[in-house]
Structure 1
Amino acid sequence: MTDDPPADGTPAADEESRRRLTEQAAVLRRQIAAAPARDEALRADCLLDAADAGAAAEALERHRKETHEARELLARTEAALARLDSGDFGRCARCGEAIAPERLHAFPHLERCLSCEAESRAKSR
């Protein structure tokens, strides 16, 4: 672990990351809030049209999976906002090294550097 500041640690980069993460969190919260109504509509479709019940059931399952993924991404997004507040944003949660600015720009909710992520994936195989 080094004492170098994160590669993206400029105030402007942090504020841009905060803006993007805050917007992403708002979108995800709206999506999650709308999920029960969409779930109900898909269930109603299953009951109304027996011929399309299989397709409607598949759509319902896909919707539930998307909602679950949205909840997980919201949790990671909120954790990234907390890291911004604590000053840990842009640092790998495992090794403490700076995360590449390009990676953070593309995925501001990342918690690990590329090396640690690759190692984690290799171990899980």
Structure 2
Amino acid sequence: MIRHTFTGRAVALALLTMIAAACDTPTEPGESGTRYDPSETATETRNGVTLVISYNSSTERFDGTVTNNNDTTVTDVRVEIHLSNGTELGPTPRVSLAAGESKLVTLDASGESFTWYSVHVELGSGSS
């Protein structure tokens, strides 16, 4: 009986650990899971497309650039930001970026209170 109780507890603990780990892992394609402090600049690259973005507390918005570092055009590029409070900013409208092209990215965070943020670049029409 004790053996079964111990085994049951071990299984329950393992399941709880997996569930907790799943809650802190990225759930969308392109998410690195990196959490940035509001004072930090986020830099992330996905399939040759680099996003560099930072939060401006004076304007309460995120400003940055998304750059295609590939030799060919990349279509349907979008950017999303996830805040620690559960708010998702974006995605931005889909854009195509020619080889070497950069575009400005701005996402409004007016009235949002957060302690960290994460970013990701979505590529292709299948991105959700």
- TM-score, length of structure 2 as denominator length: 0.29
Larger RCO (CA under 8 A, 6+ residues apart): 1
Structure (1/2) with the larger strand percentage: 2
Structure (1/2) with the larger helix percentage: 1
- TM-score, length of structure 1 as denominator length: 0.30
